[in-house]
Structure 1
Amino acid sequence: MRPGLSVELPFCLRQVKKAFWIHTNGEVWEVKVKTYMAKPEEIKREWYLIDAKGKTLGRLASEIAKILRGKHKPIYTPHLDCGDYVVVINADKIKVTGKKLTDKIYYRHSGYMGGLKEIPLQRMLAEHPERVIELAVKGMLPKNRLGRKMFKKLKVYAGEEHPHQAQKPKKLEI
């Protein structure tokens, strides 16, 4: 409605929670508002290549999670996997802020009594640099069947080389 134009809606229209369009001459038209829901056959998957060299871990992980979920696409549908494939290279050259290198600890448990293992970030980066990015992204995805399916589209490599050249991934700057 244009500013300065006030049209009193009939009582029956004020109670209904629907979208209406009011013409300047006072006519009231109902507008059908439907949320778009993508169908599985409409979803097209892209491949993206991200260089993690010098990038902050959390900021990088949140962008990767957004691409894996498909939130960057206009056809995003929450109950479908609309995301794209992401290839991350140079995982061993990521950056962390503050004292996280020594203070951040990853925990895992064997299931037996006294089986709690603690691994500091510094040692994890030295032994398994891919796992650091994988765990950060996994924590930002849904904790259900769909989240596990999205996580499988993430490919992380410590060095510059990766076996996904045939998919022709698009380089993505973050």
Structure 2
Amino acid sequence: MKTYVANSESRERNWLLVDATGLTLGRLATQIADALRGKRKPEYTPHVDTGDFVVVINAEKISVTGNKRAEKLYHRHSGYPGGLKTRTLEEMLERRPEEVLRLAVKGMLPRNRLARKQITKLKIYAGPEHPHTAQQPQPMEIKS
């Protein structure tokens, strides 16, 4: 019996649709990260991109537990002295709700070249509209 190893010719990529309305940020992000890596498929291979494309709609309606809207902080640095900028989750959701979910999913992927390719398969939209209807995305099953 030979060990099966997926390659770029044999992989099958599907399009999945997720409605983020009322879903918890971290729990949703782990499931999206697994779908992007291909861990939900029996032919998962760690060094090959076997994952699916994921389209997330209604990212602005995501929920968090506890007092995270006021207390969770996002930092970025310009590279200059005194260039540290900090925003709360509430401010991030007001300005760019897509970025909140993208950063959560990115933090759950490994730090390597393959993960940088996999995060490009994530398409996030704040509202209910998305331009990927031609790909006919199937609803992704979210485990509670």
| 3-state SS of paired residue (2:74) | strand
Alignment of 1:66-77 (within 5 A): 66-77=34-45
Distance in structure 2 (CA, Å) of the matches to 1:46 and 1:132: 24
> What SS is found at the alignment partner of 1:136?
helix
Structure 2 counterpart of 1:130: 98
Residue number among 54, 57, 81 corresponding to 2:25 in the alignment: 57
Match of 1:26 in 2: none
Match of 2:111 in 1: 143
Counterpart check, 1:96 vs 2:27: no
Among residues 119, 124, 141, which one is paired with 1:156 in the alignment? 124
| Partner in structure 2 of residue 109 of structure 1 | 77
Structure-2-length-normalised TM-score? 0.96
Higher mean displacement: 114-123 or 36-45: 36-45
- 1 CA distance for matches of 2:49 and 2:4? 15
- SS state at 2:91 partner: helix
Q: Percent identity?
A: 63
Deviation digits for residues 89-119 of structure 1 (CA, Å, limit 9, x no counterpart): 0000000001100000000000000000001
Letter in structure 1 aligned against 2:68:
K
- Aligned partner of 2:7 in structure 1 is 39
Specify which of 38, 47, 52 is matched with residue 84 of structure 1: 52
Point out which structure has higher relative CO (alpha carbons under 8 A, 6+ apart): 2
Q: Which has the larger radius of gyration?
A: 1
Structure 1 residue 172 displacement after superposition: 1.7
How far 1:35 sits from its partner (Å)?
3.2
Q: How far apart are the structure 2 equivalents of 1:78 and 1:172?
A: 22
Aligned counterparts of 1:145 and 1:85: Cα–Cα separation in 2 = 17
Distance 1:58 1:162 in 2: 23
Q: Which amino acid aligns with 2:62?
A: I
